[in-house]
Structure 1
Amino acid sequence: MPKYFFHVRRNDVFEEDPEGIDLATPELAFEEATAAARDIVAERIRMGSRANGDTFEIMTEDGSLVATVPFRSAIRLD
């Protein structure tokens, strides 16, 4: 099963995910990143912190970019 890494880009800062997670497909990796972003944004809102601006960059073990998931795309504003 492939391993996907959920790196976070915050403005010009890149935070690497050193562990990654085993998932069967890129689509599942995208769903996992979206759910994680939603949880992070919800926690930031509860804490009174800024809730947007970050992005997950989902990469494979060989460093190939699979998808980007802006945190703001994980929440519905309507």
Structure 2
Amino acid sequence: MVRLFFHIREGNRMSKDPEGAEFENVEAARMEAVRSARELLSQRVLNGEEIDGQVFELTGDDGTVMATVRFRDVLRLHER
């Protein structure tokens, strides 16, 4: 199990995930980030907000970035 934090970066701004969550591995966390980004994007589209430029940075307890998920890329990804 690995504990990762889903911080959202938008340019120079960062919204930090204060709690994090445990996942079986980094790939499982990345797939959850894809699902979460899709949910956030759907709300932004409905609200007429910008949908480009946000990135999930999945970090460990020590702040090391383990994976990134660009929101615009989740529109093209296919889950298996």
Q: What is the TM-score when the length of structure 2 is the normalising length?
A: 0.89
**Alignment of 1:60 onto 2:50:** no
- Superposed CA RMSD in Å reads 0.9
Q: C-alpha displacement at 1:51, in angstroms?
A: 1.1
Aligned to 1:20: 20
Deviations 1:36-72 (A, max 9, x none): 0011011100111111210000011122211111000
1:26-37 mapped onto 2 (5 Å cutoff)? 26-37=26-37
Q: Secondary structure of the equivalent of 1:48?
A: coil
- Distance in 1 between residues matched to 2:28 and 2:62, nearest whole Å: 18
Question: Which structure 1 residue ranges, 5 or more long, are not aligned?
Answer: none
- Distance in 2 between residues matched to 1:42 and 1:51, nearest whole Å: 9
Q: Which stretches of structure 1, 4 residues or more, deviate above 4 A after TM superposition?
A: none
Give the aligned length: 76
- Distance in 2 between residues matched to 1:65 and 1:12, nearest whole Å: 16
Deviations 1:8-57 (A, max 9, x none): 10111011110101111000010010110011011100111111210000
Question: Which structure 2 residue ranges, 5 or more long, are not aligned?
Answer: none
- Distance in 2 between residues matched to 1:75 and 1:68, nearest whole Å: 15
Identity of aligned residues (%): 37
